[in-house]
Amino acid sequence: MAKRKAEDPPKGSPAWMATFSDLMNLLLCFFVLLFSMSSVDANKWEEVVASMTSAFSVFDVGSQAIGEGTLVGVGTTQLSNLDEYYSSLGQKSEETGEELRASGDSEIDESIKNLLASQGVEEDVIDEMSKTGEVTLEMLADMYDEGKIDESLLKLLAALGMIDVDLLDQLMQSDLLDKMLEDGTLDEDILEKLRSLAEAAENKDALNDIADVKMMAAAAGMLETTEMYKEIADIAELYNMDEELALSMDEDGAYIEMTIPGSILFKSGSATLRDECKPLLSKVGDILKLYPDNYVDVIGHTDNIPINNSSFSSNDILSSARAISAAQFIVSNNGLDVTRIGWTGRGEYEPVDTNETSEGRARNRRVEIRLYNSYNSK
């Protein structure tokens, strides 16, 4: 008897697979709806980010931030980059013996370019400096002819190592020196300071050879502040703070100044911090905590529009109250030593722009946070 031919299995996927896929789709839609109706707790999210970075060894075991404090994270990749940056600070290449740079192929970091631009150096001159990382006598002559040379810029360039001893020797033999001495741009005291800075920038041990104690402290302080500026500028850029935080360095190299517009921190006529500004202030506090022995000064400023409400009778009192609010938040939130931080209000008396326009008044309403180098800390 002939064998019966086996029947072919039904075409298509098994019936249970269609039911299973429908169930998975329904579950996915359910969880998407749950997520869309939920709210994310920012603080809890930061804790999760910190926990993940610790678990995957972005930082040392048990750590959540560089040094002490908790940096407000914006992603584990950036946290890792910041850790690598700090790990490389001060290290030298085994091949060349030169200090490792944090970023870029240019001989000058972007933060230093911004600092030079704020000192009035033209963009084409900065680009020329970027090629070699140093200043030539021709550059000095061009900047002098354009009226861009002053004592503070010369000291900054020397502290950055861009004016070296060889250039100063060339300057001593040039007609440019006679012009600078004649109009007061330079004098013997400034020349001595520049030489001390140039020697110290090339070799930190040269500081010990400076006989004048005050000059030695000034040179060392300028070098320290320049390094602080580069470090803080890199952190500000890494954490997307550079649009809300203006960074500068005073002409004597005593401190770094971080300026925050008043509109970001306070409502009009108020000294109560906005909730939206607290993450930014928290990040500033974490930067300050990286320098625990350095003195911090918080200064409040207003425009010249008179104020007389139920809380404040004058701009002097309003600016003081705003400085206190910012300082107290940093102390309580970031655990800074209250004995290392001070606050003051300057009212309308130190404007950075005209009070004749709304834009100028907006610039004048600000809070400045000054971080002093260790030589100028109280």
In contact, 120 and 98? CB cutoff 8 Å: no
Instruction: Give pLDDT tens digits for 67-111.
Output: 444 444 333 334 444 444 444 444 444 444 444 334 444 556 777
Please check whether residue 334 lies inside any domain of the structure: yes
Percent above pLDDT 90 for the chain:
32
Residues 133 and 49 in one domain: yes
Residues 179 and 135 in one domain: yes
Separation between Cα atoms, residue 42 and residue 80, nearest integer Å: 21
* Statement: the pTM of the whole predicted model exceeds 0.75: no
Residues 190 and 172 in one domain: yes
Q: Is the pLDDT of residue 339 over 80?
A: yes
Single residue among 225, 244, 263 that ends a domain in this structure: 244
Percent above pLDDT 70 for the chain:
72
Residues 240 and 163 in one domain: yes
Please check whether residue 15 lies inside any domain of the structure: no
Residue 347: closest CA among 365, 363, 369, 328: 365
CB atoms within 10 A of CB 95: 6
Residues 360 and 265 in one domain: yes
pLDDT at 1: 54
Domain hosting residue 355, numbered range = 254-372
Q: Which helix (H) or strand (E) holds 38?
A: none
Instruction: Give pLDDT tens digits for 204-230.
Output: 554 445 444 455 566 777 888 888 998
Residue 197: closest CA among 175, 217, 179, 172: 217
Single residue among 244, 269, 289 that ends a domain in this structure: 244
Single residue among 217, 244, 271 that ends a domain in this structure: 244
Please check whether residue 87 lies inside any domain of the structure: no
Please check whether residue 204 lies inside any domain of the structure: yes
Total domains in the chain come to 2
Separation between Cα atoms, residue 204 and residue 198, nearest integer Å: 10
Residues in Cβ contact with 93 at an 8 Å cutoff, skipping those fewer than 6 apart? 99, 100
In contact, 156 and 118? CB cutoff 8 Å: no
Mean pLDDT confidence for 318-347: 95
Please check whether residue 175 lies inside any domain of the structure: yes
